[in-house]
Chain A
Amino acid sequence: MARDLDWSIYMARAQAGDRDAYRRLLEDVAPYLRSIAARHFRNSGDIEDAVQEVLLTVHAVRHTYDPARPFGPWLVAIANRRVVDGLRRQGRSRAREVALDAEHETFAAPEANYHEAASEARALREAVESLPPGQRDAIRMLKLQEMSLKEAAAVSGMTVAALKVATHRAVKSLRKVLGRQDRRT
């Protein structure tokens, strides 16, 4: 392949420090690398990232190229390596991220989200109902009716310290209950 021979010569010159040959080589191989990357990535940003990763690697290991051997396989081996790394990285980040699509989009106006808010409120109410009586009362008075510790103590006849403990425990068990629901859905 004539192109391969050119690349091989350019790289041999680049190894000796010929910058013009090196620039011509990199500009020449970039579209070729882009076509390799396009087989594996759809997003144009990902493709360009992969091309740049390959160029950086080629630069870092350019001393491993032996001009007696064809340039194409050397380049393709590096490109495949970087593409595989890129796919792995993508797989890792996909496991933690959710791509937003039309269904996830919503409006800023509160009415648009009323449905979700209502179901969340119901879940919270049910969770509060499921608490033991002492904790339930403490949560209701202190968090839902926003009483102060003193007022709540006066109304319920519990001490301030007991109310604090009950609230702390209630929040802890609510977190457990709601967290479990989150994971289930």
Chain B
Amino acid sequence: MITTPDLIESLVANAAPVRRLRPPVARAVGWLLFAALMLALLAVSHEVRPDLALRLRQPEFVIGIAASLATGVLAAIASFLLSIPDRSRAWLLLPLPALFVWVSTIGYGCLINWVSLQPGSLPFGNEAGCFALLVLTGVPLSLAMLIMLRHAALLAPTRVAISGSLAVAAVTATALSIFHEHDASAIILIWNFGTAVLLVALGGAFGRRMFSWVAYAGK
């Protein structure tokens, strides 16, 4: 085994100048700008849902979309803060209020619409388009987050992965509600919340491995 003084000498020998990270909030804003760019590109290529103007006049739709967007923004900020060693782990709680509002609006919409839903009228059919949209937004956002936060591999990978996945999931859900037309509450629930839970669970389970993979690939 190498002795500690020898280790210190070898680390000193490898001490190339490094570029300091920008403040975490500024980096979060950078990621959010990237997300906004993704959404703008989608708007150009995909067209927004035809009834968007109508839906924007419904308060529960507006609250829901604002809450999912807020969850995305706050979770992104939390991820970048959590990735720095000396920041409090309590930042993990930052997106919780917005998440709570978001989940409640989904639940509320569900409750109202469930009753009016006719059996057999679940609008399956354009699921492929929905899934494509999901992958188109989710994958680049996740990759960008992974690369920007790769140093977290050595520090708090699980914590960062959970809040990072929540950020990606919330932004993706926002994109889904802008671009995709779903009136059946069950589908909204499955797509919005199911996706979020899935992404966060995946992030929690594989985040550590994904981070170390990116960290090693980057070296």
How many angstroms between the C-alpha atoms of A30 and B89 in the bound complex? 26
The reply to whether A52 and B86 form a contact with Cβ atoms under 8 Å apart is no
Complex: chain B residue closest to A62, CB-CB: B18
Known contacts being A60-B151, A61-B155, is A55 close to B11, with CB within 8 Å?
A: yes
Question: What's the nearest-Cβ distance from chain B to residue A160, in Å?
Answer: 54
How many angstroms between the C-alpha atoms of A110 and B1 in the bound complex? 37
The reply to whether B15 and A14 form a contact with Cβ atoms under 8 Å apart is yes
Interface flag for B54 (CB, 8 Å): no
Interface centre among B9, B16, B23, B86 (most CB of A within 10 A): B86
Interface centre among B1, B16, B85, B155 (most CB of A within 10 A): B85
Interface flag for B19 (CB, 8 Å): yes
Interface flag for A126 (CB, 8 Å): no
Complex: chain A residue closest to B155, CB-CB: A81
Known contacts being A73-B86, A77-B86, A81-B85, is A63 close to B8, with CB within 8 Å?
A: no
Question: What's the nearest-Cβ distance from chain A to residue B8, in Å?
Answer: 4
The reply to whether A17 and B151 form a contact with Cβ atoms under 8 Å apart is no
Which residues from B are CB-within-8-Å of A15? 17-18, 20
List residues of B (9-38) whose CB comes within 8 Å of A's CBs. 9, 11-21, 23
Interface flag for B115 (CB, 8 Å): no
Instruction: Say which size band chain B's interface belongs to.
Output: 20 to 34
Interface flag for A64 (CB, 8 Å): yes
Question: What's the nearest-Cβ distance from chain B to residue A14, in Å?
Answer: 6
Interface flag for B2 (CB, 8 Å): yes
The reply to whether B14 and A64 form a contact with Cβ atoms under 8 Å apart is no
Question: What's the nearest-Cβ distance from chain A to residue B19, in Å?
Answer: 6
List residues of B (155-195) whose CB comes within 8 Å of A's CBs. 155-156
The reply to whether B4 and A48 form a contact with Cβ atoms under 8 Å apart is yes
Q: In the complex, which of the residues A51, A57, A66, A70 contacts B4, with contact meaning CB atoms closer than 8 Å?
A: A51
Interface flag for B7 (CB, 8 Å): yes
Which residues from A are CB-within-8-Å of B106? none
Question: What's the nearest-Cβ distance from chain A to residue B59, in Å?
Answer: 42
**Which residues of B are at the interface with A, using a C-beta cutoff of 8 A?**
1-2, 4-5, 7-9, 11-21, 23, 83-86, 151, 154-156
**Which residues of A are at the interface with B, using a C-beta cutoff of 8 A?**
14-17, 19, 22-23, 26-27, 30, 45, 48-49, 51-52, 55-57, 59-67, 69-70, 73-74, 76-78, 81
3 closest residue pairs by CB, A with B: A17-B17, A63-B18, A77-B85
Q: List 10 interface pairs A-B (beta carbons < 8 Å), by A numbering.
A: A14-B15, A19-B13, A22-B11, A23-B8, A57-B154, A61-B154, A63-B151, A64-B21, A64-B151, A78-B85
